[in-house]
Structure 1
Amino acid sequence: MMATPVAPELTAATILVVFAGVFLISFMRGAFGGGFAIVGIPLLSLVMDPVTAGGLLAPLFIAMDLFALRYWKSSTWSRPDLVLLLPGLVIGIGFGYGLFRFLDHRAIAIVMAEITLIFVGLWFVRGGQVTRRPRSTTKAITAGLASGVTTMVAHSGGPPLAMYLLPLGLSKEIYAGTTSIFFTVGNATKAVPWLLLVRPTAGVWAIMAIGLLAIPSGVWLGWRLNGRLDQRQIYRACYGLLVLTALKLMWDGISGYLP
């Protein structure tokens, strides 16, 4: 099911596009704690195939995580939720890696997009209000597993996690901090599997080094945005990003079936 990775040429256009894509993902990381990397992947796909983009981003995600932890410290983590979420995340990544070459990524993308759009649609029907719900062990484990599989096969682990965390009504700082450490664990876990799948060339490593330069400013500016927006604005932005993510997943899935 996986196409053979093609190394991108080290041109000015490649450097510019990668810098812009990594900056955008870093900005999302700083503002919302992570989970919306797929929003920036279309930029990278302009100059390389999606599989190569996934391998290129895997180590850069870890760099983003380390930088973001300067802002989203342990005081912003919801430990009761992480205890429930993280085991499923790690297991889901392992499951996704084991079946990476056999899973129908297109079908997974379409199903995840449909579920996400339904979730956002219900929020919209309620007038954009968050209906607080108590923690659920079953829902947390399911969200962790789903996020692990989708982050491994498509760098799109954000929707399952958001669908679990947003209804809890966490403060914007706790939401972002919990999301941040969740994906720090996830990105560290999936980095080696992705590198084994893609086996980056020297040229890809060189492009990674260039992408590193975009991370500090992107994360910092995103963190500043989070501080300026109030609770309602942050939640609206998260739901809006979920729609963008779902539409991107839907497009990836449907276009994969087209001749």
Structure 2
Amino acid sequence: MITDIWFYVAAVPAVFFYGMGKGGVGGILGMLSVPLIAMTISPLQAAAILLPLLCIMDVMALIYHRKHCNYRELKSMLPAATIGVVIASFFMGSLPSTTVEWIIGGLALAFLGQKFLVQKAPSNRPSQGYALSMLSGFASTIAHAGGPPATMHLLPKTLPKEEYIATSVVFFAALNGMKLIPYAYLGELNASNLTTSLVLIPIAFIGVRTGVWLVTIISQQWIYRISYLVLLVTGVKMLVSGIFGSL
């Protein structure tokens, strides 16, 4: 188990905010988690420690949200996302996370620019949806960074608040289950990492419950505003980190 105090200084808020995202408030809030923890350990180990926690958070979030999932939308996303997971499995440990960051950051800002500057709704073509779903599966496997592409796919559909949150929750629960295979194959789900994950479970639980509670008091309009805002913040952060190195 990791005993470095600075690891936990970074990991506790990272896990808490990821849990809030899983609970439904800003589904891409957890984008900051891997970079934050990676300030104290390697990015791959940070992602490996987070993965079991994500699976536990998924179970908790599914209890609250699964009944509202738009399964038709989910079925259109999962096949391409699965391909993305498989492709990413061959690059894990060798592809610099900064490469993934600048690609996703650039796409996120282009998406926001198209919507708010050009005043034109982003395209909703099926081919674009498949590409974004595949990119989400790929980025999620490399660095748990699949949130922005999935958000770019779902936001233009203007689903009801409950469906938007629930579809994201079920989608990433499925992805995280798949990701256990390549992480286990690489030996990253070892005793030390799993024990460290176990210590952080209470923080994950508190984060998810906080997110679920906030969803009940926030309007649909504000859920979408928060999602766009977090997409902007993470897009800028990822683009800058990808170009200039991890910040």
TM over 0.5, shorter chain = yes
- Structure 1 stretch 236-245 or stretch 24-33: which is displaced more? 24-33
Q: CA deviation at 1:16?
A: 4.1
User: Gaps spanning 5+ residues in structure 2: where?
Assistant: none
Q: Give the SS at the match of 1:199.
A: coil
Q: 1:55 maps to what in 2? A: 48
Contact kept, 8 Å, 1:22 with 1:211, in 2: the verdict is yes
Q: 2:86 maps to what in 1? A: 94
- Structure 1 stretch 20-29 or stretch 170-179: which is displaced more? 20-29
Closer/same/farther in 2, CA of residues 244 and 11 from structure 1, 3 Å limit: same
- Structure 1 stretch 240-249 or stretch 104-113: which is displaced more? 104-113
TM-score (norm 1): 0.86
Q: 1:30 maps to what in 2? A: 23
Contact kept, 8 Å, 2:44 with 2:93, in 1: the verdict is no
CA distance in 2, matches of 1:222, 1:101: 32
Aligned residues: 247
Q: Give the SS at the match of 1:214.
A: helix
Q: 1:153 maps to what in 2? A: 142
Q: CA deviation at 1:110?
A: 1.0
Amino acid at match of 2:138: V
Q: Give the SS at the match of 1:10.
A: coil
Aligned with residue 84 of structure 1, among 51, 76, 91: 76
Q: 1:141 maps to what in 2? A: 130
Aligned with residue 192 of structure 1, among 181, 197, 205: 181
CA distance in 1, matches of 2:47, 2:4: 19
Contact kept, 8 Å, 1:14 with 1:47, in 2: the verdict is yes
Closer/same/farther in 2, CA of residues 192 and 239 from structure 1, 3 Å limit: same
Contact kept, 8 Å, 1:24 with 1:218, in 2: the verdict is yes
Q: 1:113 maps to what in 2? A: 105
CA distance in 1, matches of 2:7, 2:91: 31
CA distance in 2, matches of 1:132, 1:205: 41
Closer/same/farther in 2, CA of residues 17 and 105 from structure 1, 3 Å limit: closer
Q: Give the SS at the match of 1:40.
A: helix
Contact kept, 8 Å, 1:33 with 1:177, in 2: the verdict is no
CA distance in 2, matches of 1:92, 1:25: 22
Q: Give the SS at the match of 1:22.
A: helix
Contact kept, 8 Å, 1:56 with 1:205, in 2: the verdict is yes
CA distance in 1, matches of 2:81, 2:10: 30
Q: Give the SS at the match of 1:160.
A: helix
Q: 2:209 maps to what in 1? A: 220
Q: CA deviation at 1:29?
A: 1.1
Q: 1:239 maps to what in 2? A: 228
Q: Give the SS at the match of 1:217.
A: helix
Aligned with residue 45 of structure 1, among 17, 38, 41: 38
Q: 1:4 maps to what in 2? A: none
CA distance in 2, matches of 1:136, 1:27: 31
TM alignment of 1:166-177, pairs within 5 A: 166-177=155-166
Contact kept, 8 Å, 1:150 with 1:157, in 2: the verdict is yes
Q: Does 1:165 align with 2:154?
A: yes
Contact kept, 8 Å, 2:183 with 2:189, in 1: the verdict is no
Q: 1:124 maps to what in 2? A: 116
Q: 1:5 maps to what in 2? A: none
TM-score (norm 2): 0.90
Question: Residues 168-226 of structure 1: CA distance to partner in whole angstroms, max 9, x if unpaired?
Answer: 11011110000000000001101221233352453322211111111221111111111
Amino acid at match of 2:177: A
Q: 2:8 maps to what in 1? A: 15
